[in-house]
C-alpha cells in the first residue's frame, strides 16, 4: 500500500512504480529498500515485492558483500527496459500535454466569450504559463504581455515583454489570466484593487466568474460560489 498521501489526481501505475525503482537503482546501486520506499512513496514490503519481480524478470541483480551490505544493479536487459519505459512515459506525457492544452483553451475561451479577438496578459511565467501560452497560440486570443514579479521589467519571456503590473491600466487588456498558482490569492487581490472593472480577471486554479457577468467583488473561498457585481 502507498504510505504517502496522494497530492495529485494522477496515481502511479505499477509500471510507473517499476520505472521509478529502475531509475533510482541506475543512479545509485547502493540505495537501501528503505530509501527506495521513501523516494517512491511505497511501503517497504511493496518495494520488496517489486524488487523480487524485477529480479525474477532478469532486470536487476543483487550483489551481496555481507548480510548488511547489498547493492542492486541493472542487467543489460534492465537497462534496455528502462530506456523503453522512459520512451513510453515521454509519449504519455506528450499526450497529456496536448489534452491539457485543449482543456485550458476551452476554459479560457468560455471565460472570454463575447470579446472579439481578446487581448490578454498572463500573470506568471511558470509551467502553467507555458501551457497557457502554447494553448492560446492556436486561438484568436492574443497574448500582449506578461507580468512576473521574479523577472526584470522589460525582459522577454516567450517573445513577450515582462510588464510592471501598473502598466496594465494604460495597456487595457481585455483580460488578465493568473497563471501563478503559488501566489494566485495575492495576485488576485492586487489586480482587483488596481484594475478597472471592465478588465476581466481569470484564475485557473479555482472558479472564475462566468464570461460577461462582471468582476468578482470579493475573493472566493475554496468551494464557494463567488458573488458577482
| The predicted structure's pLDDT at residue 68 | 75
| Domain count within the chain | 2
CA distance 143 to 184: 19
**Residue 56, domain member (yes or no):** yes
* Triad 200, 204, 207: Cα angle to 5°: 80
State the chain's mean pLDDT as an integer.
85
Grid coordinates standing for 160?
513577450
Any bridge partners for residue 156, and if so which? 161
Angle at 154 between CA 162 and CA 100, to 5 degrees: 20
pLDDT at 65: 80
Same domain, 69 and 106: no
Residue 222's pLDDT is: 40
User: Is position 109 within any domain?
Assistant: yes
* Displacement of CA 136 from its chain's centroid (Å): 17
Low-confidence ranges of the chain (pLDDT < 50): 1-6, 210-229
| 191 and 128 part of one domain | yes
- Count CB neighbours of 184 within 10 A: 19
Task: Enter the pTM of the model.
Answer: 0.71
The residue segments making up the domain with residue 121 are: 100-203
Which pLDDT value is given to residue 218? 33
Pair 25, 64 in one domain = yes
Domain assignment present for 7 = no
Q: 143, 137, 146, 144: which is closest to 102 by C-alpha?
A: 137
Amino acid at each position: 500500500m502507498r504510505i504517502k498521501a496522494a497530492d495529485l489526481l494522477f496515481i502511479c501505475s505499477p509500471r510507473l512504480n517499476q520505472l521509478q525503482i529502475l531509475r533510482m537503482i541506475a543512479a545509485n546501486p547502493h540505495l537501501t529498500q528503505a530509501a527506495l520506499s521513501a523516494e517512491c512513496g511505497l511501503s517497504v514490503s511493496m518495494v520488496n515485492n517489486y524488487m523480487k519481480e524485477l529480479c525474477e524478470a532478469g532486470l536487476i541483480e543483487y550483489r551481496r558483500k555481507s548480510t548488511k551490505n547489498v547493492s542492486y544493479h541493472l542487467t543489460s536487459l534492465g537497462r534496455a527496459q528502462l530506456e523503453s519505459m522512459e520512451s513510453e512515459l515521454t509519449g504519455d506525457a506528450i499526450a497529456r500535454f496536448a489534452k491539457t492544452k485543449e482543456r485550458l483553451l476551452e476554459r479560457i475561451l468560455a471565460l472570454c466569450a463575447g470579446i472579439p479577438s481578446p487581448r490578454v496578459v498572463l500573470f506568471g511565467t511558470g509551467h502553467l504559463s507555458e501551457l497557457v501560452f502554447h494553448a492560446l497560440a492556436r486561438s484568436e486570443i492574443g497574448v500582449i504581455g506578461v507580468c512576473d514579479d521574479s523577472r526584470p521589467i522589460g525582459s522577454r519571456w516567450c517573445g513577450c515583454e515582462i510588464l510592471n503590473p501598473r502598466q496594465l491600466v494604460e495597456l487595457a487588456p481585455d483580460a488578465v489570466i493568473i497563471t501563478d498558482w503559488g501566489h494566485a490569492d495575492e495576485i488576485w487581490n492586487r489586480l482587483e484593487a488596481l484594475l478597472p472593472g471592465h478588465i476581466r480577471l481569470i484564475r485557473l486554479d479555482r472558479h472564475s466568474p462566468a464570461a460577461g457577468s462582471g468582476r468578482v467583488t470579493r475573493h472566493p473561498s475554496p468551494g464557494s460560489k463567488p458573488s458577482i457585481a
